[in-house]
């Protein structure tokens, strides 16, 4: 259910529970289960809590997400068994409703031999006027565009006409319509189609869900009810998709191409109506401009300065244009974007306003904030930059923040938890057409430690490490914990070029311009601070002998003492500095350890969690390694290890 209905970085029980419940399970590695069982009462309690939480968390998720209620509602409306909602797609829902309605009218559904036919033209997209708009952009949306077109013009299998039928029956032009694609359908007053009836039923259920949504006060239940009305909307929209699916149960190209033809015509008409009516010549303050339009919505720049003015004009435009279309087609005004960052087709971001006093949220479409095959640094950087651009209205500050993050990355100041990429191991090595980083890593782990190797279906976490020049990326993947334990350098240039550069340029190009964005972000002094790691991994390093360095000035020493003869007078100050650093690391580790204990629900037990989905796990491992290194360094002053 979660996999189908929600976009998350990870779908493990741990990650999903934390996302929705802010709770995590007692993560116990399978290899230590026997030891826990054979241990003390305390270790057996730990194992019992692990088993208990594994059972309770899915039940709490079902309850919290109202899965059963929503799926029963969907099954009731569409007439399919509950398991079909999980195991089958949208087509079975439409077929079920068609059979239900056909039975009422004593009709039978034909079976058709599936043949791939001609393609038809899809929805229209008005070319975007890219840029950063520091003014309100009103958005006009057609309510359930494709279903309303099918209902308004009575488009159905049972109402489709041919020229021969018209001649044979002697139908007058008032009794049928000709669609913009040239197809013929009889009007509803002579015969109402099955598909319009099905759509009325679905949209009626959606209207009820939206009414419940308005009454609800609990924020989370509001989200769930919003999910229900959205699911009903998808089911209604899938009726159009069902008619256009050429490899489907009952394709009908005449219906689907008529729907998209009406849709294209209406979007173009809406654009023309807005730009013709809202002009200085007609008494308005500015000439309106449609900056973007896509399938069922248009973004209008009325030229006003405040959200309230844009809302008034948007509402007026929606009512004015709705009156020009056949019922139940309705153009609605729902929101204003202010400010608005238009990157490209299907890619934009803006502050979402439904009331003039306070914005509702930051809305992003087609921007890399949730893609799971990106490392967390991408989503964190993009989100922070968008907040600075849209909420703080500080594009200059966003540029500086991006440059600082790039500098930190190239100087190895970014925590490894921000660089972990995860990919699911879906096939065996032979089944992949090209070599994949996560598959190669799984093979290497299998050779190193067969017991802990990832299995099919597992998500494999990895980082890209530095290697000799021209080494393929799939050969540079490595387990994050192995990297920490062995001090393997990260390939920071890979993360800049393959992970960060394109998402950053997409955001900043509309603001700075294409050439300037690249030169400002990816060139300059902040990119010249790269820590040189190639020397550590070159072929000659195999013959190098490691010598200790002076802790003060980093001069190579002949023995294992702490400082060189030149730094000897300052040894006391250097020692105090290192003690201070050790204390800082101990405090950081204690905080992370306590955080993990709180997460597992006990402040009196050791932390056994090995959740690879949790950034705290990697941070704790990193500090643990740093502490061990610092402890080892302190022994060089002649202080015994503690």
Rounded to two decimals, the pTM is 0.74
Helix (H), strand (E) at residue 232: helix 219-244
Considering the chain, what is the average pLDDT of its residues?
85
How high is the pLDDT of residue 76? 83
**Average pLDDT in the 68-76 region?**
82
Q: Give the number of other CB atoms < 10 A from CB of residue 606.
A: 13
**Residues 296, 297, 301, CA angle at the centre, nearest 5°?**
160
Q: Where are the domains of the chain?
A: 2-65, 119-126+137-337, 420-489, 547-635
Which is more confidently placed, 599 or 51? Answer: 51
- Asked if pLDDT for residue 10 goes beyond 80, the answer is no
Cis ω on the peptide bond leading into residue 328 (within 30° of 0)? Answer: yes
- Joined tokens for residue 576: 């105090």
Q: Answer yes or no: same fold for 119-126+137-337 and 420-489.
A: no
Give the span between the Cα atoms of 334 and 331, in whole angstroms.
10
The predicted structure's pLDDT at residue 90: 83
**Dist. CA 97–CA 80, nearest whole Å:** 9
Fold of 119-126+137-337: Palm domain of DNA polymerase (3.90.1600)
Query: What are the tens digits of pLDDT across the range 509-555?
Result: 888 888 888 888 888 888 875 444 443 444 444 445 567 888 888 88
Ordered DSSP codes for 182-203: S-EEE-TTT---HHHHHHHHHH
Of 434, 503, 422, which Cα lies nearest the Cα of 463? 422
Q: Which CATH code for domain 420-489?
A: 1.10.132.60
For 293-329, the pLDDT digits (tens) are: 988 889 999 999 999 999 999 999 999 999 999 888 9
Which pair of structure tokens corresponds to residue 407? 């500098």
Element at 210 (helix H, strand E) = helix 194-215
Q: Which residues pair with 459 in a beta bridge?
A: 424
Reading the block at residue 513, the tokens are 């311009």
Helix (H, G, I), strand (E, B) or coil at 303: coil
Mean pLDDT, range 184-198, rounded to an integer: 90
Which pLDDT score, from 0 to 100, does residue 454 have?
A: 80
């Amino acid at each position: 259910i979660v996999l189908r209905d929600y976009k998350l970085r990870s779908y493990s029980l741990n990650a999903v529970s934390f996302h929705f419940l802010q709770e995590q399970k007692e993560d116990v590695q399978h290899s230590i289960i026997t030891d826990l069982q054979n241990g003390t009462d305390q270790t057996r309690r730990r194992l019992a809590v692990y088993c208990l939480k594994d059972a309770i968390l899915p039940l709490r998720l079902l309850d919290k997400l109202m899965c059963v209620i929503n799926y029963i509602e969907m099954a009731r409306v569409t007439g399919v068994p509950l398991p079909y909602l999980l195991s089958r797609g949208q087509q079975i829902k439409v077929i079920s409703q068609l059979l239900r309605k056909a039975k009422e009218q004593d009709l039978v559904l034909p079976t058709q031999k599936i043949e791939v036919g001609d393609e038809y033209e899809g929805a229209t997209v008005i070319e975007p006027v890219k840029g950063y708009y520091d003014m309100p952009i009103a958005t006009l949306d057609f309510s359930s565009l494709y279903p309303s077109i099918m209902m308004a013009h009575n488009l159905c299998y049972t109402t489709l006409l041919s020229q021969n039928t018209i001649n044979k029956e002697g139908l007058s032009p008032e009794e049928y319509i000709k669609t913009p694609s040239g197809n013929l359908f009889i009007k509803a007053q002579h015969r109402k189609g099955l598909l319009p009836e099905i759509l009325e039923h679905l949209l009626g259920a959606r209207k009820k869900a939206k009414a419940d949504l308005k009454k609800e006060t609990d924020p989370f239940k509001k989200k769930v009810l919003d999910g229900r009305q959205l699911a009903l909307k998808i089911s209604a929209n899938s009726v159009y998709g069902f008619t256009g699916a050429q490899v489907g149960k009952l394709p009908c190209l005449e219906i689907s191409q008529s729907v998209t033809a009406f849709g294209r015509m209406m979007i173009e008409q809406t654009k023309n109506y807005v730009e013709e009516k809202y002009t200085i010549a007609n008494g308005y303050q500015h000439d309106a401009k449609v900056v973007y339009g896509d399938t069922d919505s248009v973004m209008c720049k009325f030229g006003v300065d405040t959200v309230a003015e844009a809302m008034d004009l948007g509402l007026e435009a929606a009512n004015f244009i709705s009156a020009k279309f056949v019922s139940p087609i309705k153009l609605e005004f729902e929101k204003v974007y202010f400010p608005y960052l238009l990157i490209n087709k299907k890619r934009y971001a803006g502050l979402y306003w439904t009331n003039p006093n306070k914005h509702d949220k930051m809305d992003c479409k087609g921007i890399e904030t949730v893609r799971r095959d990106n490392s967390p640094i991408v989503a964190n950087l993009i989100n922070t930059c968008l907040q600075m651009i849209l909420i703080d209205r500080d594009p200059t500050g966003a540029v500086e923040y991006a440059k600082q993050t790039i500098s930190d990355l190239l100087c190895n100041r970014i925590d490894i938890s921000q660089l972990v990429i995860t990919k699911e191991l879906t096939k065996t090595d032979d089944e992949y057409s090209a070599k994949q980083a996560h598959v190669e890593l799984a093979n290497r782990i299998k050779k190193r430690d067969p017991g802990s190797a990832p299995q099919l279906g597992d998500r494999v976490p990895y980082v890209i490490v530095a290697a000799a020049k021209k080494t393929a990326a799939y050969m540079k993947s490595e387990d994050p914990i192995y990297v920490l334990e062995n001090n393997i350098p990260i390939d920071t240039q890979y993360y800049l070029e393959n992970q960060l550069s394109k998402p950053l340029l997409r955001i900043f190009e509309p603001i700075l311009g294409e050439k300037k964005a690249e030169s400002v972000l990816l060139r300059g002094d902040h990119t010249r601070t790269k820590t040189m790691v190639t020397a550590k991994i070159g072929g000659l390093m195999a013959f190098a002998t490691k010598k200790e360095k002076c802790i003060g000035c980093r001069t190579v020493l002949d023995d294992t003492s702490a400082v060189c003869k030149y730094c000897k007078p300052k040894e006391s100050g250097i020692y105090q500095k290192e003690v201070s650093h050790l204390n800082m690391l101990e405090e950081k580790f204690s905080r992370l350890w306590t955080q993990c204990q709180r997460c597992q629900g006990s402040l009196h037990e050791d932390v056994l969690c090995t959740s690879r989905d949790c950034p705290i796990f990697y941070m704790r491992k990193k500090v643990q390694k740093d502490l061990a290194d610092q402890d080892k360094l302190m022994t060089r002053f002649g202080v015994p290890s503690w």
